[in-house]
Amino acid sequence: MTDFFSNLSITTLGFFAFVLITFGIYYLVPRKAQNLVLLLASLVFCITWNWTFALILVVFSIINYFLALQIDSSQDKARLRWLWTGIVLNVSALLFYKYFDQSQVIFFKALFRLGVTPTQLELSILQPIGISFYVLQAISYLVDIFRKQIAVNRNFLEVSLYLAYFPKLLAGPIERAQNFFDQLRADRVLDNQQLTDSLLKIFVGLSRKIIISDTILQTIPRGVFANPSAYSIMDLVFWWFAFGVMVYNDFAGYTSIARGVSGLFGIQLSPNFEQPFFSTSFLDFWNRWHMSLSNWLRDYIYLPVSRAMLRRNPSGRYLPNLIVPPLVTMLVSGIWHGAAIHFILWGLLNGAVQAWERVQKSRRKSAAPPLTKWAIIGTIFVLLIINVPFKLDIAGALAFWSGLFRWGPFQTFTLATTLKPFFVIALSFYLDVKQLPERDERGLLRLPKATQIFLLAAGLFLLFLATRQQIAAPFIYQEF
């Protein structure tokens, strides 16, 4: 039983049992107590991973709650000082837990000298779940108060729940405070339509994660990335594309489940993906991929940098004004993903193509209608190439790129090897195409009833089969 409820990842039966219990209590208690139920459930969810994570989250909430009050009650320079104190504290915590070798901290070193071992301190698991995501939410909350875009929230329970809400704790979506607080205060009604939407999101999310993403993960030959020189260009291109589809379905699947579960409690979380494989430009891609992070980066990095640049030279065609903001933004995004050179390279490359696109756009006199099909293919092709450092370190990425310029020996390009990935990639695109009209899972509800029944039955069957022989891999973005 303890194992059943430990490390609750959101594709496990334990998680859904936990949701069901919370759901039952949530709709039994009076309206006023519902937020408290969600907060307690969120802390319990945290404890299933490690009790220290819950403690860290509570401390985090207290600090940010008081910082917000200080910012709100201060004026001018003091206000700015409190904001920077908040930003520095939040970023320091993120850096400490995510990037810092904790065994080098003097306090821990002293403990080691006293005979305490790193294993006893569980240093290796001290990175609290979801910290990368709730730190960004905390910063946005403080900045929004500083900018007077939102009023400070004096309800500690609501602020804590904003940071700790369990459906989004592991990997977002990164919510904006006002949107979340408004929903916490509004009456929440779960009717037939909302229940259908929520269950549909959970079903599509599970399908994306378990049927599509985990299947690709299991079929990708390890050597393709570890030793690309041994493979043909066809192998590399196919498996890299499959890897891209895998990452997309992993994260989009997670987001759908998180949104679906949250919908059961009457709280709508922001969308994170809008069929990114149909993007017609790089900027368009980042408006469709991990949208909650892209929006955060836009509002709290890109726009402030842009404004600062425009203050120096107000020309919209001045080259640094076009180049620097996307480069800085994507560099921050790279560092957020991980403190490794390859993530920085990944960020710079993505920043560079966005900057190039912005320059091209500024030089174009009239907006020529884009050739959509070719624009989509070209965008995805370039993005796949420049996203190699997302997965591989610098040496690995260079080896992979050089592999794309050699014919090489065919290794895996056989029907037996590619049958399953082909099928699930096609399934991923089918889902995307069917979601296009509504821009999310509800697009599937437009299908004829018979098709819906067939898809649901087939999906349930495939989910059952997929969960028999494989253990769900952890969500990729949960690692960040």
Partner 1 sequence: MKSLKITAPFGEIFLRSVLYLLLFCAALELFARTPAAHIFFPRESYGTSHPHFEVQLRRLRDRIAAGEQVDCIFIGNSQVLYGLQPSVVEDAYHEQTGKTIHCQNFGLGGLTPLTAGPLTRVLIKNFHPSLIVFETGVLDYSTSNMEGTDVSIMSSPWMKYQLGVFSVDGWLYEHSNGFRLIFGIDRAIKAIEENDTEIEADGHSTLMGQTETPMEDQLKHFEASLEALQITERHVGGLKKLLSIHSKQVQIIVIETPTHPVFYASKRKVRNLYPDFEKMLVFQTSQAGVPLWLSREALDLPAETWHDLAHLNEDGAVLLSRQLGQFLATVYTPPTSP
Yes or no: say if 257 and 8 are a contact pair by the CB < 8 Å rule.
no
Q: For partner 1, give the closer residue by CB, 119 or 414.
A: 414
Distance separating alpha carbons of residues 25 and 30, to the nearest angstrom: 10
Distance separating alpha carbons of residues 259 and 203, to the nearest angstrom: 11
Q: For partner 1, give the closer residue by CB, 188 or 391.
A: 188
Q: For partner 1, give the closer residue by CB, 399 or 445.
A: 445
Tell how far CA 173 is from the center of its chain. Answer: 6
309 CB-near residues (< 8 Å, 6+ apart)? 318, 320, 321, 324, 325
Region binding partner 1 by CB under 8 A among candidate stretches 110-118, 133-141, 311-319, 447-455: 447-455
60 CB-near residues (< 8 Å, 6+ apart)? 93, 134, 138, 163
Distance separating alpha carbons of residues 298 and 311, to the nearest angstrom: 18
Q: For partner 1, give the closer residue by CB, 33 or 105.
A: 33
Distance separating alpha carbons of residues 236 and 402, to the nearest angstrom: 11
Q: Which residue has the tokens 């992993």?
A: 250
Is residue 28 close enough to count as binding partner 1 by CB under 8 A?
Answer: yes
CB of 390 to partner 1, least distance (A): 28
Is residue 178 close enough to count as binding partner 1 by CB under 8 A?
Answer: no
CB of 264 to partner 1, least distance (A): 10
- For residue 305, the tally of other CB atoms under 10 A from its CB is 18
Q: For partner 1, give the closer residue by CB, 98 or 188.
A: 188
Q: For partner 1, give the closer residue by CB, 148 or 420.
A: 420
Contacts with partner 1: how many residues (CB under 8 A)? 29
421 preceded by a cis bond (ω within 30 of 0): no
Is residue 426 close enough to count as binding partner 1 by CB under 8 A?
Answer: no
Residue span 210-249 as binding mask against partner 1, x where in contact by CB under 8 A, dash where not = ----------------------------------------
Cα angle 261, 141, 150 (rounded to 5 degrees) comes to 105
Instruction: For 271, list phi and psi in degrees, rounded to 5.
Output: -75, 155
Region binding partner 1 by CB under 8 A among candidate stretches 26-34, 46-54, 267-275, 371-379: 26-34
Is residue 371 close enough to count as binding partner 1 by CB under 8 A?
Answer: no
Q: For partner 1, give the closer residue by CB, 339 or 460.
A: 460
Can you give the binding site for partner 1, defined by CB under 8 A?
A: 27-28, 31, 34, 187-192, 195, 199, 266, 414, 416-417, 419-420, 449, 452-454, 456-457, 460-461, 465, 468-469
